[in-house]
Homo-oligomer: A and B are copies of this chain.
Amino acid sequence: MTEVMAAQAHPRYEQQKLAAIRAAASVFADLGYHGASTKLIAERMGIKQASLYYYFKSKQQALAEVCLYGLENYVERLTMIATARQPFAAQLLSVFNAHLAAYREKNEALKVYNDERLYLPEDARTELKELGSGYRQVLESLFEKAVAAGDLRDDVDCHFAAQAVIGIGNAWGDLIVRDRDLDVVSIAHKCTDMLLNGFAPLPETH
């Protein structure tokens, strides 16, 4: 309700607000929303617990903002990939690369979005839901176009395919977050190859 938050223009505020979101993302990612304490979030950004409430109205709002932050530019990036004029295989590779790179860069916030958003109240979730299901829909229509263009088998279930891409991406995303040695590019290639060609040997083409 207070317009304090809207009174930006102060660079310090913006900077600290971002630090607060990042700290919250980090703690939520480590301990989960319910396991996290505002004290720890504040400590991780170097202020006292009560000061956090200068940037968040409540712990729940912090979660909502972390989730939004995690999705920032995420759907846009996918849309750009989907509208680029490229062979489908290259697009799919870009999708995996972008998905996995997002985990590596903003890993915590995205992880929080995936794992903790369900603890948000209904109304806060609807805003996210649009963004999130937007992601799946863009992916789905990318597959549909590829089927129409003959780049994919015409019996492909595009809804299934989109879910599968997200599932694989998130599964590897989690592993990537935990193990910094894993190579994003290599994994993206393998995911793409698996989805396109499968693991079965090529039939004899004589």
- Give residues 76-134 of A contacting B (CB, 8 Å): 89, 115, 119
Evaluate contact between B151 and A201: CB separation under 8 angstroms: yes
Assuming A35-B34, A197-B200, is B205 touching A191 (CB within 8 A)?
A: no
Pick the contact of A152 from B157, B164, B201 — CB < 8 Å?
B201
Residue of A150, A154, A167 with highest tally of chain B CB at under 10 A: A167
Interface residues on chain A, number (Cβ under 8 Å): 42
CB-CB under 8 A from A170, the residues of chain B are 167, 171
Assuming A164-B168, A190-B157, is B200 touching A196 (CB within 8 A)?
A: yes
Assuming A164-B168, A170-B167, A171-B163, is B34 touching A31 (CB within 8 A)?
A: yes
Evaluate contact between B190 and A35: CB separation under 8 angstroms: no
Q: How far is the CA of A143 from the CA of B196 in the complex (A)?
A: 18
Task: Kindly report how many copies of this chain are found in the complex they form together.
Answer: 2
A135 close to chain B: CB less than 8 A: no
CB-CB under 8 A from A190, the residues of chain B are 157, 160
Assuming A160-B187, A171-B171, A194-B161, is B153 touching A199 (CB within 8 A)?
A: yes
A19 close to chain B: CB less than 8 A: no
CB-CB under 8 A from A166, the residues of chain B are 171
CB-CB under 8 A from A154, the residues of chain B are 201
CB-CB under 8 A from A152, the residues of chain B are 199-201
**Chain A 23-41 against B: per-residue CB contact (8 Å), 1 yes, 0 no?**
0000000011111000000
A175 close to chain B: CB less than 8 A: yes
Pick the contact of A199 from B156, B201, B203 — CB < 8 Å?
B156
A/B interface sample: 9 pairs, CB < 8 A: A32-B32, A163-B172, A163-B175, A164-B172, A167-B167, A168-B171, A195-B199, A196-B200, A204-B205
